[in-house]
Amino acid sequence: MIVDMLLRLLGENPAGYPTITDKMSGITAALLGFSTIYLAYVLVVIPWIWLLWQKKKKRLITKKMVIIVIIISILLFWLGYNLPWWIIEIMGGITVQGLYGGQI
């Protein structure tokens, strides 16, 4: 409200600026775009932290456990890299559906 009043005083049209929902969509897309790197590496580290926790509890670490942790790390890296892009694609599809009624 205050920003709209200041824009009117300066001679600007407040309707020309994006609404809060447009801003939030842009912020969400930007965060998801940057999160591909960080999310992938965070998810890769989680199984290794679990393995180190098992070692700290003095449990036996077998070769089978290490192989399973490696496979899960690879799958979580793939998921962490692709999940933000899938969400961005879904957001784009919802936008197209909202703008054009589901047809391009």
Domain ranges of the chain: 2-100
Q: Quick count: other Cβ atoms within 10 Å of Cβ 65?
A: 16
Separation of alpha carbons 26 and 61, rounded Å: 46
Tokens found for residue 14 = 């407040």
Separation of alpha carbons 104 and 99, rounded Å: 9
pLDDT at residue 83 tops 80: yes
Does the pTM of the predicted model rise above 0.75?
Answer: no
* DSSP category for residue 17: S
pLDDT at residue 73 tops 80: yes
Express as a percent the part of the chain with pLDDT over 90: 32
